[in-house]
Amino acid sequence: MKSNIGLGLIVLAVAAGYLYYLGSVKTDRYQLFNVKKTISWAQSQNSIYRTHAHGTIDNFLLSEDVWREYVFSMKVVSSQDCGIVYDYLDHQNYYFIYLNVKSKAIVSGQVKDGKTQDLRSVAFVLPSSFSVRAEKHAGVFKFLVNDRPFFESKTMVPDGKIGLMVNGADVPPVVFYQIAIKGSLGNRQVIATQVGVKLDSGMPQAF
């Protein structure tokens, strides 16, 4: 009899803990990138792409939020140059990774006060479809293509936006899909997908 009472108390304790967890997790609709604030980007049900180009205007699609630490991943279908920007402060100050299909190379660098510097290049023939992962933790940025690491460097920018980069709008377009991020916005930890749900655990930034 006592064992049954003890088991019942354990079940009630577990149930209470789970209900508290559900109450502490905020779930809502979330858009990592908002194409409605642009003039040349579009979003289908599962992907993002650029529809037309106006020189250097709108060639970045920036995140809505400023990110501190994260694991950012996506898949890309592309027959033209594309890339990402990170630790973006403004159009004169950011870091970038450029996937140069024509030159068969992946290039990293920084734009500081409007001047490009710290360029590094690694030879690589990009397939027509590939996965990308960018990670930032404790001030160290890592970039991988198809789970193969290409760049690792320290960044002096504690917080910045993340962005997609396409300079042209050739057909077929560059398509970004299965976009997801896990990381911290200030002191909040967030798990999000581009076309989906955000789970905000409210936990400290370490993850």
What's the pLDDT tens digit per position in 162-173? 999 998 888 889
Mean per-residue pLDDT for 37-64? 89
CA distances from 8 to 12, 19, 62, 68, 185 (A): 6, 16, 51, 43, 40
pLDDT at position 146 over 50: yes
Q: Which of 15-24, 84-93, 144-153 has the lowest mean pLDDT?
A: 15-24
Is the Cβ–Cβ distance between 72 and 135 less than 8 Å? yes
Is the pTM for the entire model greater than 0.75?
yes
pLDDT at site 104:
94
Q: Which runs of consecutive H residues, i.e. helices, occur in 25-175?
A: none
CA distance 42 to 11: 49
DSSP-assigned letter for residue 88: E
Mean per-residue pLDDT for 115-120? 94
- Please give the mean pLDDT across all residues of the chain: 82
Gap between the terminal Cα atoms of the chain? 43
pLDDT at position 195 over 70: no
pLDDT at position 63 over 90: yes
